[in-house]
Amino acid sequence: MSSAASQPHFLKLVGADDPDAVESWKASRLARQHVIRENRLAASNPQLDPTDPRWVLAMRAYSQLQGSTLTPERRQRVLDNAKVIGLRPFDANLIIAVVQDHARRGESPAEAQSTLSMIAAPVRNAERLFWKRWLAAVISAIVANILLFWWLTA
């Protein structure tokens, strides 16, 4: 048996003594780590969902701004939208103030997400809707029974 066949095969790091290759490898590794870190941050981002009513209203208010101000007519339009979305007037005015403040400082609307997330989310009226549906079903059943009884006895 030859001595080359009996020796284990090891990998040899090539270019470890070349400073340009080492710097290139370090820069590539740092860039890759930066991308991994950004992806992890984006995956665990507690920011608002694009369909969140607070964010929707903020974008509507931002689109109505003239500089950093809202005319009374445009502000009323935004407040009417807030009512339709289910936001309270106080919360809607607070969202408008946050958007105006960020516009005044020259910041993008995306930078306002952390502030907007502190505002209370609108409460869904699912429970109230549930009881309204049950009440409508019971009333319909009573009316149907009365009509059926009246038809059978007439």
Secondary structure of 39-87 as H, E, C letters: HHHHHCCCCCCCCCHHHHHHHHHHHHCECCECCHHHHHHHHHHHHHHCC
Q: Tell me, yes or no, whether 82 lies in a domain.
A: yes
Q: What is the pTM of this model?
A: 0.53
Q: Tell me, yes or no, whether 25 lies in a domain.
A: no
Summarize the confidence of residues 58-72 as an average pLDDT. 90
Nearest alpha-carbon partner for 98 in 59, 66, 124, 72: 59
Domain co-membership, 106 together with 136: no
Overall domain count for the chain: 2
Q: Tell me, yes or no, whether 86 lies in a domain.
A: yes
CA quadruple 8, 15, 31, 44: dihedral, nearest 10: 10
Q: Tell me, yes or no, whether 77 lies in a domain.
A: yes
Residue 17: helix, strand or coil by DSSP?
A: coil
Q: Tell me, yes or no, whether 19 lies in a domain.
A: no
Which domain, by its residues, includes 69? 53-116
Summarize the confidence of residues 43-58 as an average pLDDT. 74
Band of residue 75 on the pLDDT scale cut at 50, 70, 90 = very high
Domain co-membership, 145 together with 109: no
The maximal CA–CA distance of the chain, rounded, in angstroms, is 113
Domain co-membership, 65 together with 100: yes
Band of residue 130 on the pLDDT scale cut at 50, 70, 90 = confident
Q: Tell me, yes or no, whether 84 lies in a domain.
A: yes
Domain co-membership, 82 together with 132: no
Cβ distance 79 to 93 under 8 Å? yes
Q: Tell me, yes or no, whether 48 lies in a domain.
A: no
Residue 150: helix, strand or coil by DSSP?
A: helix
Q: Tell me, yes or no, whether 147 lies in a domain.
A: yes
Domain co-membership, 135 together with 80: no
* Residue 42 vs residue 55, higher pLDDT: 55
Domain co-membership, 110 together with 139: no
| Tokens matching residue 18 | 């070349």
pLDDT at 146 over 80: yes
